[in-house]
Amino acid sequence: MLPHIASLLDPIQLLGALLSLPLVSLILAAIIAVGIAVSPRGAARRRSRVRLTPSASTAVSARYTPEHRALGIAAIAVIVIFAAENLITGYVLGMFGVSLNGVVGWWRYATPVFTASVGVAILLAMIATRGSTPPERPVVSARRTWLTFSSRVGSVGTALALLALTTTTLLAGLASSNLNGGPYVYLEIDVPNETIDPIRPWFYGWAYGIPVLICTAALIAVVVAALQANSARAFLRPETVVAEQRERRDIASGISRLAASAALLALAGALRFIAEGGSIAGLTVGSDGRSDTYDAFWRYGELAAIGGWVAPALEITGFVILFLVTAQLAQGSESTAPAPRTAESRAAQ
């Protein structure tokens, strides 16, 4: 009894159990995001504003503020829907006696990517309509591409997150198996030197991966389209170019962050699932009052276990990025400000 209690109080096991819960990752991410927001660098970033004339400030704000708000709302939607799904499937349904055992819950992994793609698609529609009005005075500028206003670090990070999710999903799908023509939701682990059937734990197979791949492809498509639309639209007037360039950089950053965070959340869930199925190290068979233990392991079991430990860090990072994107809800009205009226201008009136 005492050893069992001691094992429950083991700090490492307790930490691992807590970090296996996505809602714990959400709480930790919120604390980190608050720390970033109140840091001197974050405060300085919010205070730095481009000074414009009142009319120019109004025009820039009218064009870009709705887009900042759309990004912030999209980030909140990803967080809320992800948390709600975890609460409902993990706790609420169990309270009412509803079991999801045997159900292929592919939506758990596709939901953040799908929600982000819908949010970016809405932003794209806003940019293509009210955000691309004809210029008040034409501005001659160099040709712009979808990467013009994107941070190199942010673009590389987003690409790596999407690539990691895609690669993990493809490799897990190739490693999965099915039974009697059913869905690919098993990992087949042979028991060496024995004639018993292989171990078949549930696994992140094609039944889970194909919806994730479809949503990821849709996310990539709308992200590239939104970045291109954000870059290619005309500037309002010559004196607003600097302010608009900053706005477009912030919009591009928000798009990239939203895509990266969704990919990280989906990847964290996938790695946890892979670790659960791929870290099995044995099989115990009981019969006639005795039990026999067989050693069995997946050849990539160690990598699966490492992925399970990395998953909380990826999840926390994804949530932190989402919280930073939510700050764009208030950014539109703060990023530009009317220039202060000078004594000469007041005298002229």
Each residue's pLDDT tens digit, 285-339: 656 666 667 777 788 888 999 999 999 999 999 999 999 999 888 765 455 445 4
Compute the average pLDDT of residues 99-125: 92
* Total domains, the chain: 1
Residue 6 lies in a domain: no
Domain that holds residue 172: 14-334
Residue 5 lies in a domain: no
Q: Is the pLDDT of residue 284 over 50?
A: yes
Query: What percentage of residues in the chain have a pLDDT greater than 70?
Result: 81
Q: Is the pLDDT of residue 246 over 60?
A: yes
Each residue's pLDDT tens digit, 49-101: 555 566 667 778 888 899 999 999 999 999 999 999 999 988 888 787 777 77
- What pLDDT sits at residue 170? 97
Compute the average pLDDT of residues 115-120: 97
| 202 SS3 class | strand
Q: Is the pLDDT of residue 346 over 50?
A: no
Q: Is the pLDDT of residue 259 over 70?
A: yes
Contact 296, 189 (CB under 8 A): yes
Compute the average pLDDT of residues 116-144: 84
Residue 48 lies in a domain: yes
Token pair of 280 as six digits: 């099995």
Residue 136 lies in a domain: yes
Residue 340 lies in a domain: no
Mean pLDDT of all residues belonging to the chain: 83
Residue 60 lies in a domain: yes
Cα separation, 248 vs 338, in Å, equals 19
Residue 292 lies in a domain: yes
Q: pLDDT class for 203, splitting at 50, 70, 90?
A: very high
Q: What phi and psi, each to the nearest 5 degrees, are found at residue 200?
A: -130, 80
Q: pLDDT class for 1, splitting at 50, 70, 90?
A: very low
Residue 116 lies in a domain: yes
Of 55, 30, 52, 34, the C-alpha closest to 43 is: 34
Compute the average pLDDT of residues 2-27: 70
